[in-house]
Amino acid sequence: MAAASDVVGSAHVPAIRLRDITKSYGVGAAKTAVLRGVSFDVEPGEFVALVGQSGSGKSTLLNIIGGLDEPDAGEVEVLGVDTQRASDAKRAGLRNHSIGFVFQAFNLLDHLSVLGNVILPAAFARDAHNIEDRGREALRRVGLSDYAKRKPGELSGGQKQRVAIARALFNAPTLLLCDEPTGNLDSETGKEVIDFFRELNAKDGVTLVIVTHERRVSSVAKRVIAMRDGMLVETTDEELAAAHAQRGGPA
């Protein structure tokens, strides 16, 4: 559990609370501002799509929310934990117990079996129990019960992404952060993944933040947050369509 000093004490705790987040890369003349004072809240159980052109800063923002990157300035509170003030161990614990990540590139470890990849988060949990059973249950949820002993190299792209989702769901997180989860999938497989996320959000109440270029993804989200040049912008359907078109996805 989070220490008292790291937990924001208020009656209403948003799942994510960002205030004036700034982030830049490079130094001197090569310094590029990626985020310029981003602020918003995400309520528990929301399904949020983060959209914008390439380089708009949405993946950086997602990494900051997940504690995989640090802002130069601003306040980040995730599930009631002030991740700026929390120790590294506290942030690691938060990622392990409460946050699931799904990446565009799947990020499966080839030397481990499918089940080994799914239960990998248990390696860092001190109180893990029924690990294999929970791993198999996570695989069953994504429809890969029969693939437990296979290696990632033997799977298709869609199957790999479902393994990555099973891994993200292994510890039953309350917040799922997805970075272009359908970016490497064909449209049919991508649709299955999106349907799965929608069901996860609707039935289990998992808070979802998805970075995407695809309109079909953003169209199922309950809320769309658009970004341009490191800032939040008002979005219209036309702009959304333009963003998707630039990426080459369906409008």
Residues that bind another protein (CB under 8 A): 60, 63, 66, 68-70, 88-89, 91-93, 95-97, 101, 103, 107, 109, 111, 120-126, 167
Report in angstroms how near the CB of residue 229 gets to another protein at its nearest.
Answer: 20
Which among 229, 245, 215, 213 is positioned nearest to 57, based on CA atoms?
229
Report in angstroms how near the CB of residue 87 gets to another protein at its nearest.
Answer: 9
Report in angstroms how near the CB of residue 44 gets to another protein at its nearest.
Answer: 21
- 142, 192 contact by CB (below 8 A): no
| Residue whose structure tokens are 């003030």 | 85
* CB burial of residue 128 (10 Å; 0-12, 13-18, 19+): middle
What is the DSSP annotation of 201-243? IIII--EEEEE-S-HHHHHHSSEEEEEETTEEE---HHHHHHH
Report in angstroms how near the CB of residue 238 gets to another protein at its nearest.
Answer: 31
Q: Which is nearer to another protein, 60 or 218 (CB)?
A: 60
Report in angstroms how near the CB of residue 69 gets to another protein at its nearest.
Answer: 4
Report in angstroms how near the CB of residue 202 gets to another protein at its nearest.
Answer: 26
Phi, psi of 13 (to 5 degrees): -110, 110
Q: Which is nearer to another protein, 134 or 215 (CB)?
A: 134
Q: Which is nearer to another protein, 174 or 235 (CB)?
A: 174
Q: Which is nearer to another protein, 167 or 244 (CB)?
A: 167
What is the identity of the amino acid at 207?
T
Q: Which is nearer to another protein, 93 or 190 (CB)?
A: 93
Q: Which is nearer to another protein, 120 or 231 (CB)?
A: 120
